[in-house]
Structure formats: C-alpha cells, structure tokens
A and B are shown apart, each in its own frame.
Chain A
Amino acid sequence: MQIKVNGESLELADNATISVLVTQMLLEDQRYAIEVNEEIISRSQHVTHFLSDGDQVEVVQAIGGG
C-alpha cells in the first residue's frame, strides 16, 4: 500500500502497523509523536494501529527552536 509520511509517498506492506513504520524509520529509541489523518495516535497504540492505503501520516520530533 501507499501512504504519505510527512508529505512524501512511502510504500509499506499491506496491514502494516504504525510500529512497522517506526521501525522502518529507525525511530524506536527516540522521542517522537505520530498523527494519522490529523489524529494523534498515542504511543501505546502503535503496535495495534493498522495503517490503510492513502493514510496521511505525520511523524514529528523536537528540534532547536526559540
């Protein structure tokens, strides 16, 4: 299936969970937050939340800012 991650198209196995995406992005040990279709999915639900074709995913982290 095709999803959008941070505005870019990404091919992901059908029935992949958010955790699969997180692993693929090498983010497991980091602090991040995820939105799917503008709705925050809390970290505890990443293992069970299946992504669907066409999902718009935002993955954010903290960076330098004032």
Chain B
Amino acid sequence: MTNTVSSSLPVDKPLTVAGKEYKSRLLVGTGKYKDLAETKAAIEMSGAEIVTVAVRRTNIGQNADEPNLLDVISPDRYTILPNTAGCYTAKDAVRTCKLARELLGGHDLVKLEVLGDQKTLYPNVTETLIAAETLIKDGFKVMVYTTDDPLIAKRLEEMGCVAVMPLGAPIRSGLGIRNPYNIKMILENAKVPILVDAGVGTASDASIAMELGCGGVLMNTAIAAAKDPIRMANAMRLAVESGREAWLAGRMPRKLYASASSPIDGLII
C-alpha cells in the first residue's frame, strides 16, 4: 500500500504558543537522563519542538571539555523553555527567568513554576500570581505551571500568560490525570493553550490529556525514568498524536447498557 488512510484526512491545526506554531503537541524536559547522549536520543524520538531546561550554578573548576546541554539540544533547532523549578518564592522565580533570558540571548519564553513545599511540589498559587504579573510586565512570555483550579487558570490567562499548564498529578508521581473534570472545566473557558504539565506516568495518561482536548502535554520523568527512555519517547509521541486524533474525531457517547452493533433484521431465528 502506497497511501496510508491518514494521508487523506484534513491536516490538524498547529499548536500556537506566543505566536509561534508547532507541529508537535508533546513538550519534554531534559532532566533525569543517564547522560547527554540519552537525553538527545530521547528528545529526538519524542518529536518535541519545545524542550525545557533548568538554570543552575556552574560548578567552579568543572571540566571545560564536558559537553553542555545546549550543545546537544541546540536553541537553533528547538524552542528552549527555561523553567523556574526549585523556586519557592516569586522573587526567586523572577530572578531565575531574568538569568535565563540573559543566558539565551534575550529569549523571553519561560516556564514559570513556583513550588509550595518539597513533599508535594504543589504549585504555590499566590506566589505564582505575583511572579506572573511581574514577568509579564517585564516583557516575558509566560507558560505557567499551576493547580487544576479553573478559576486560577482563568485568572492566569486574563493576566496575559501565553499558556496555562495545570498539573495532572504531583510532579514525578506518575499518577496520571487525577481530575479530568477540572481539566475539562479549564478547557471550556480557555482562549490560550492548556497543556497538562506533570503527573503523566505512561502513554495512556498522555492520550487521556489529549482526548480531553488539551493543547498539548509536557512531561519529563515519564520518559526519562522508563526502563527504555527512547522507546517511551516514541510511545509518548504516538499517544499524544492518537489522543489528539481521537479528540478531533469526537468520541461516541457513553451509555450504561448495551445496544447491538449488528443489525437485528435478517436474523435466521
């Protein structure tokens, strides 16, 4: 067969974040991989175009020959999304974003996450709101990690965040989308992309997020901590694509009881 069935389907519209279009709806992190070679291979396999990085102190006396993450994940090829992971106050998050902007030569797209405590890594919503306001005033384009509270999500959108990213479950928990109904509520009113960020454990979780109508999914550990991260990166790419296709197709309604799918007429009995 030379033509696949999918080639005759209308092309999906791209994911648009801060005016830029992306074919892939899977966003990936670069943490927790065995080494940079594995990071590179997994990210290539995932098909992701937006890739998150952290900003950290340089080790004094480190080996200058050691490859740098940005040599492997080139800003010429990927949209680099620096995060504020590890920040617990608005002040620290803003400071980190400013350093990231300098580091990336004026690049102003950031992932804002302000955490509440170390045990849950739950978003600190009050500090997140303060940081978002400061960053937006300073010209940053903010993709914001937050709780799955529909009112807070709306507020962040109205403030001018370019994407709102509610958690599916706590960071690195791998528990999947714990409250799909909240994600649905967030989606109903949203005018910016809603991306599930955190909580995805396996491919079906990513599909569920996309079947709900999310603009995309951001994940790191679900790929990096899999036994075979490269293969899981492929699984996640397919899961995000198939979940999106199912959303576009529109699923059948749920019913409590059966109804026959074969015709009753013409039965021999």
Decide whether A and B assemble into one complex.
yes
Contact (Cβ within 8 A) A64 B33: yes
Contact (Cβ within 8 A) A40 B99: yes
Contact (Cβ within 8 A) B54 A43: no
Task: Specify which chain B residues have a CB less than 8 angstroms from the CB of A6 in the assembled complex.
Answer: 57-58, 60
Task: Specify which chain A residues have a CB less than 8 angstroms from the CB of B64 in the assembled complex.
Answer: 26-27
A26 CA to B68 CA in the complex, in Å?
13
Contact (Cβ within 8 A) B220 A40: no
Is B124 an interface residue when CB atoms closer than 8 A count as contact? no
The residue on A at minimum CB distance from B95 is A38
Task: Specify which chain B residues have a CB less than 8 angstroms from the CB of A8 in the assembled complex.
Answer: 60
Contact (Cβ within 8 A) B103 A33: yes
Contact (Cβ within 8 A) A64 B32: yes
Interface positions, chain A 12-44, Cβ under 8 Å from B, are: 25-27, 30-35, 38, 40, 42-43
The residue on A at minimum CB distance from B104 is A31
A58 CA to B96 CA in the complex, in Å?
11
Given contacts A31-B104, A33-B100, A38-B95, contact A62 B58 (CB under 8 A): no
Chain B's nearest CB lies how many Å from the CB of A55? 15
Interface size counted on chain B using CB atoms at 8 A: 36
Proximity string of chain B (75-104) to chain A, C-beta cutoff 8 Å, 1 when within and 0 when not: 000001011010000000001001110111
Task: Specify which chain A residues have a CB less than 8 angstroms from the CB of B102 in the assembled complex.
Answer: 33-34, 40, 42-43
Interface positions, chain B 46-81, Cβ under 8 Å from A, are: 52-58, 60, 62, 64, 68-70, 80
Task: Specify which chain A residues have a CB less than 8 angstroms from the CB of B70 in the assembled complex.
Answer: 31, 62
Is B147 an interface residue when CB atoms closer than 8 A count as contact? no
Contact (Cβ within 8 A) B53 A62: yes
Is A47 an interface residue when CB atoms closer than 8 A count as contact? no
Contact (Cβ within 8 A) A60 B53: no
Task: Specify which chain A residues have a CB less than 8 angstroms from the CB of B17 in the assembled complex.
Answer: none
Given contacts A61-B103, A62-B69, contact A25 B31 (CB under 8 A): no
10 further A-B pairs in the complex, CB-CB below 8 A; given A62-B68, A64-B39: A25-B60, A40-B98, A60-B57, A60-B99, A60-B103, A61-B55, A63-B53, A64-B53, A64-B69, A66-B219
Using a CB–CB cutoff of 8 Å, the interface residues on chain A facing chain B are 5-8, 10, 25-27, 30-35, 38, 40, 42-43, 58-66
Using a CB–CB cutoff of 8 Å, the interface residues on chain B facing chain A are 29-33, 39, 52-58, 60, 62, 64, 68-70, 80, 82-83, 85, 95, 98-100, 102-105, 171, 218-221
**9 CB-based A-B contacts, threshold 8 Å:** A6-B57, A58-B99, A60-B57, A63-B69, A64-B32, A65-B53, A65-B83, A66-B52, A66-B171
